[in-house]
């Protein structure tokens, strides 16, 4: 949100470059009363298109570089601080030789286009305005600080905010001409209080981004309840889609096949029209749209696998590993974090390898539904307590990923069967199973698998993109826990890092002993004396809130 606002401000300030503002009404031929509206529209459109193309040309030149995610905080913060310094001390910018050279070249192109005074000349004027603005003012570099570090869609959002800010001022000049321009001169003064005040603000924002304080501030605002953007977005979506669950009577609700005592989120009713809404967990009332729509985060249905030596990223990359009778398959987090679900088959067992980056829940399920049919699973785009809600494509039942329980549908209340897996690093797999095959980045989707879109999220225990309803402080919120269920179906949690340090622990629960052992290879086994039990992994805050009010057992190491 902060960078989106900065992008808009940067666009507006770009027009206010002191060397350009006075001549803009002449350049675009748009003084008030001018009847030739073609010229300003062509110039503005050409300017917007040139900025889009130039920015993404620059983006494309860096998209394949494997840059550590931590670099981008320093990159963005550093550029924003630099812009602030240029506002405070404009003489620094004016003395840069590269800027002066660009200024001369851009003004030559501008003069050439203006001299033609035709359609092609208007296009040239618009294309030349971008370099003129950037050579007079450093604000365009704010776009480099926001667009380069993020994915294509988010970057486009920032870029469009910049262009909207830019076009807003241009539009005022088109409508009001020189009169409007004269009123903006105080804002364009590079040594005035307005520019210097913005310089101080930009420097503070840059420091916040580098230090991570921006995330903590966002977390505080969300937790305070004063500005919960997710709820705002949901109410906006609901107002657009209409109330599909606003029943006026019990008879009407029953006729529609919906539990009248449960308020179904409208966006879910719209996205899943074929779901059986008559069987529903009341918890679904708290479901929120995570932003992407149904299948907006695309699950992978036909994964390809390559030898481990083809993996081009850090050997410390975490991965979910499934051990078949004839093959070991590795599903690295750098792919799972973009797709969240991989539908696969190993040893004739249909499996869904799932990972929710917002709560660290790594779980493998059997894709066989309670009625014996086999389905693939997709990402609904909705969340419950910051955890992914999945759906099976066969029946459109909705499933809670962290528990495997149905939330809505004909199978409610049932639970998916767990499939055993291990959570290892790629290097750990290499050392013990060099012939294992790892999931290929040829997924059929264009994603930057060398970049973590949630960089820093795991390390900041106080920051939640979607805040849970409660936070249990018995452990750090984002501590990764190993979760399993006892013979009496009691959920048990133990800190994964602590267990790896201890190596082995035996816990008595309801007069039955459970032994948890971590081998030198990094693999984990949980034995109840009769059989080995399946398990999964999840952040502490998620486990605590998903099982709030239930009987649980926590192993204290």
Backbone angles phi, psi at 78, to 5 degrees: -65, -45
State residue 3's pLDDT score. 61
End-to-end CA distance of the chain: 40
d(CA 409, CA 261): 16
Q: Is the pLDDT of residue 501 over 50?
A: yes
Q: Is the pLDDT of residue 380 over 80?
A: yes
d(CA 468, CA 540): 12
Examine the domain organization and report whether 83 and 128 are in the same domain.
yes
Q: In the predicted model, what is the mean pLDDT of residues 484-496?
A: 94
Query: Of 184, 211, 238, at which residue does a domain stop?
Result: 211
For every residue of 140-189, DSSP letters joined together read HHHHHHHHTTS-HHHHHHHHHHHHHHHHHHHHHHHHHTHHHHHHTHHHH-
Q: Is the pLDDT of residue 231 over 90?
A: no
Q: With bands split at pLDDT 50, 70 and 90, how would you rate the model's confidence at 268?
A: confident
**Does 453 map to a domain?**
no
State residue 150's pLDDT score. 58
State residue 453's pLDDT score. 84
Examine the domain organization and report whether 184 and 231 are in the same domain.
no
State residue 71's pLDDT score. 56
Extended beta strands in 486-531, E state: 491-495, 504-509, 512-518, 524-527
**Does 464 map to a domain?**
no
* CA 304-310-314 angle, 5° bins: 110
Q: Is the pLDDT of residue 329 over 50?
A: yes
Q: Please tell me which of 130-139, 183-192, 450-459, 513-522 the model is most confident about, judged by mean pLDDT.
A: 513-522
Return the higher-pLDDT residue of 179 and 18. Answer: 179
Q: With bands split at pLDDT 50, 70 and 90, how would you rate the model's confidence at 238?
A: very low
Q: Is the pLDDT of residue 370 over 60?
A: yes
Q: In the predicted model, what is the mean pLDDT of residues 35-47?
A: 63
20-29, 194-203, 300-309 — which is least confidently predicted? 20-29
State residue 179's pLDDT score. 56
> Which of 344, 332, 410, 324 lies closest to 371, judged by CA?
410
| Alpha-helical regions (H) of 399-502 | 426-432, 496-502
State residue 265's pLDDT score. 85
Q: Is the pLDDT of residue 228 over 50?
A: no
d(CA 495, CA 368): 30
Asked whether 162 and 8 are in contact (CB, 8 A), the reply is yes
Q: Is the pLDDT of residue 336 over 50?
A: yes
Give the rounded percent of residues in the chain with a pLDDT score beyond 70. 59
d(CA 232, CA 239): 11
Q: In the predicted model, what is the mean pLDDT of residues 447-470?
A: 86
The domain of 203 spans 2-211
**Does 285 map to a domain?**
yes
The first and second tokens of residue 156, run together, are: 């486009």
What's 539's DSSP letter?
E
Phi-psi category of residue 361: left, alpha or beta, with phi > 0 → left and psi -120 to 50 → alpha:
beta
Return the higher-pLDDT residue of 313 and 36. Answer: 313
State residue 182's pLDDT score. 53
What's 417's DSSP letter?
P
State residue 219's pLDDT score. 45
HEC sequence for 137-153: CCCHHHHHHHHCCCCHH
Query: Of 166, 189, 211, at which residue does a domain stop?
Result: 211
Asked whether 12 and 161 are in contact (CB, 8 A), the reply is no
Examine the domain organization and report whether 248 and 162 are in the same domain.
no
The first and second tokens of residue 316, run together, are: 């410390």
Examine the domain organization and report whether 28 and 172 are in the same domain.
yes
Residue 357: CA count within 13 A, CB half-sphere = 24
- Provide the β-strand partners of residue 350: 345
**Does 126 map to a domain?**
yes
C-alpha pair distances (Å), 95 with each of 128, 136, 385, 455, 548: 22, 11, 53, 37, 62
State residue 338's pLDDT score. 94
Q: In the predicted model, what is the mean pLDDT of residues 74-98?
A: 63
> How many structural domains are present in the chain?
3
d(CA 552, CA 557): 16
Q: Is the pLDDT of residue 491 over 90?
A: yes
Q: In the predicted model, what is the mean pLDDT of residues 78-106?
A: 59
Q: With bands split at pLDDT 50, 70 and 90, how would you rate the model's confidence at 244?
A: very low
**Does 8 map to a domain?**
yes
9-13, 26-30, 340-344 — which is least confidently predicted? 26-30
Please state the separation of Cα 429 from the chain's center in Å.
29
State residue 350's pLDDT score. 97
Asked whether 497 and 480 are in contact (CB, 8 A), the reply is yes
Q: In the predicted model, what is the mean pLDDT of residues 156-161?
A: 76
> What is the average pLDDT score of the chain?
76
Examine the domain organization and report whether 228 and 180 are in the same domain.
no
d(CA 235, CA 265): 10
d(CA 427, CA 115): 64
Examine the domain organization and report whether 59 and 159 are in the same domain.
yes
**Does 317 map to a domain?**
yes
Within 10 A of 268 (CB to CB), how many other CB atoms are there? Answer: 24
Q: Please tell me which of 206-210, 250-254, 523-527 the model is most confident about, judged by mean pLDDT.
A: 523-527
Measured in residues, the chain has a length of 557
Examine the domain organization and report whether 267 and 144 are in the same domain.
no
State residue 543's pLDDT score. 96
State residue 187's pLDDT score. 52
Query: Of 192, 211, 230, at which residue does a domain stop?
Result: 211
43-52, 111-120, 426-435 — which is least confidently predicted? 111-120
Examine the domain organization and report whether 494 and 436 are in the same domain.
no
The first and second tokens of residue 261, run together, are: 């005592």
Q: In the predicted model, what is the mean pLDDT of residues 385-395?
A: 95
The first and second tokens of residue 64, run together, are: 């394949």
4-8, 185-189, 251-255, 355-359 — which is least confidently predicted? 251-255
Q: Please tell me which of 74-78, 243-247, 259-263, 448-452 the model is most confident about, judged by mean pLDDT.
A: 448-452
Examine the domain organization and report whether 197 and 288 are in the same domain.
no
Examine the domain organization and report whether 63 and 180 are in the same domain.
yes
Q: With bands split at pLDDT 50, 70 and 90, how would you rate the model's confidence at 216?
A: low
Examine the domain organization and report whether 205 and 274 are in the same domain.
no
Return the higher-pLDDT residue of 46 and 220. Answer: 46
d(CA 185, CA 169): 13
Q: Please tell me which of 25-34, 73-82, 95-104, 427-436 the model is most confident about, judged by mean pLDDT.
A: 427-436
Examine the domain organization and report whether 384 and 241 are in the same domain.
yes
d(CA 156, CA 174): 26
C-alpha pair distances (Å), 460 with each of 76, 219, 292, 358, 531: 19, 10, 24, 12, 38
Asked whether 27 and 17 are in contact (CB, 8 A), the reply is no
The first and second tokens of residue 148, run together, are: 């380069």
Extended beta strands in 24-79, E state: none
Q: With bands split at pLDDT 50, 70 and 90, how would you rate the model's confidence at 353?
A: very high
**Does 451 map to a domain?**
no
d(CA 197, CA 205): 13
**Does 462 map to a domain?**
no
Q: Is the pLDDT of residue 40 over 70?
A: no
33-37, 413-417, 479-483 — which is least confidently predicted? 33-37
Contacts by 116-120 with C-beta closer than 8 Å and gap 24+?
A: 119/38, 119/42
pTM for the whole thing?
0.60
State residue 451's pLDDT score. 86
d(CA 233, CA 471): 23
Within 10 A of 316 (CB to CB), how many other CB atoms are there? Answer: 9
């Amino acid at each position: 949100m902060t960078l989106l606002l900065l992008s808009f401000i940067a666009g507006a300030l770009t027009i206010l470059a002191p060397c350009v503002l006075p001549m803009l009404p002449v350049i675009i031929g748009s003084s008030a009363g001018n009847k030739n509206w073609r010229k300003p529209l062509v110039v503005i459109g050409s300017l917007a298109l040139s900025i889009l193309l130039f920015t993404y040309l620059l983006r494309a030149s860096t998209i394949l570089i494997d840059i550590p995610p931590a670099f981008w905080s320093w990159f963005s913060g550093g550029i924003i601080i630099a812009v602030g310094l240029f506002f405070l001390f404009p003489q620094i910018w004016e003395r840069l030789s590269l800027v002066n050279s660009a200024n001369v070249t851009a003004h030559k192109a501008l003069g050439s286009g203006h001299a033609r005074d035709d359609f092609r000349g208007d296009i040239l004027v618009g294309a030349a305005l971008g370099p003129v603005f950037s050579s007079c003012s450093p604000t365009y570099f704010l776009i480099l600080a926001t667009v380069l570090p993020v994915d294509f869609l988010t970057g486009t959002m920032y870029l469009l905010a910049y262009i909207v800010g830019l076009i807003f001022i241009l539009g005022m000049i088109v409508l009001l001409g020189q009169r409007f321009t004269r009123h903006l001169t105080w804002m364009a003064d590079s040594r005035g209080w307005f520019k210097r005040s913005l310089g101080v603000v930009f420097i503070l924002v840059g420091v916040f981004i580098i230090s991570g304080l921006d995330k903590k501030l966002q977390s505080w605002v969300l937790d305070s309840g004063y500005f919960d953007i997710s709820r705002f977005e949901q109410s906006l979506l609901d107002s657009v889609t209409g109330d599909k669950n606003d029943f006026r009577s019990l008879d009407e609700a029953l006729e529609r096949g919906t539990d009248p005592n449960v308020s179904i989120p409208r966006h879910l009713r719209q996205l899943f029209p074929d779901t059986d809404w008559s069987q529903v967990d009341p918890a679904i009332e708290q479901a929120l749209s995570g932003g992407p729509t149904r299948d907006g985060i695309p699950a992978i249905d036909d994964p390809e696998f390559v030898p481990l030596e083809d993996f081009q990223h850090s050997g410390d990359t975490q991965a979910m590993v499934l051990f078949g009778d004839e093959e070991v398959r590795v599903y690295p987090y750098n792919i799972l974090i973009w797709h969240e679900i991989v539908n696969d088959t190993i040893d004739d067992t249909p499996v869904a390898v799932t990972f929710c980056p917002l709560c660290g829940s790594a779980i493998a399920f059997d894709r066989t539904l309670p009625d014996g049919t086999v389905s693939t699973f997709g990402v609904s785009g909705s969340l419950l307590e910051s955890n992914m809600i999945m759906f099976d494509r066969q029946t459109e039942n909705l499933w809670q990923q962290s528990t495997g329980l149905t939330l809505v549908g004909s199978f409610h209340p049932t639970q998916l069967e767990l499939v055993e897996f291990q959570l290892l690093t790629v290097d750990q797999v290499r050392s013990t199973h060099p012939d294992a095959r790892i999931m290929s980045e040829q997924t059929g989707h264009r994603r930057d698998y060398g970049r973590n879109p949630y960089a820093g999220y795991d390390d900041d225990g106080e920051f939640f993109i979607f805040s849970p309803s409660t936070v249990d402080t018995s452990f750090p919120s984002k501590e990764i826990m190993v979760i399993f269920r006892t013979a009496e179906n009691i959920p048990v949690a133990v800190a994964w890092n602590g267990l790896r340090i201890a190596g082995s622990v035996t816990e008595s629960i309801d007069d039955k002993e459970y032994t948890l052992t971590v081998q030198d290879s990094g693999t984990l086994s949980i034995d109840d004396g009769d059989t080995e039990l399946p398990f999964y992994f999840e952040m502490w805050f998620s486990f605590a809130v998903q099982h709030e009010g239930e009987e649980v057992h926590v192993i204290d190491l």
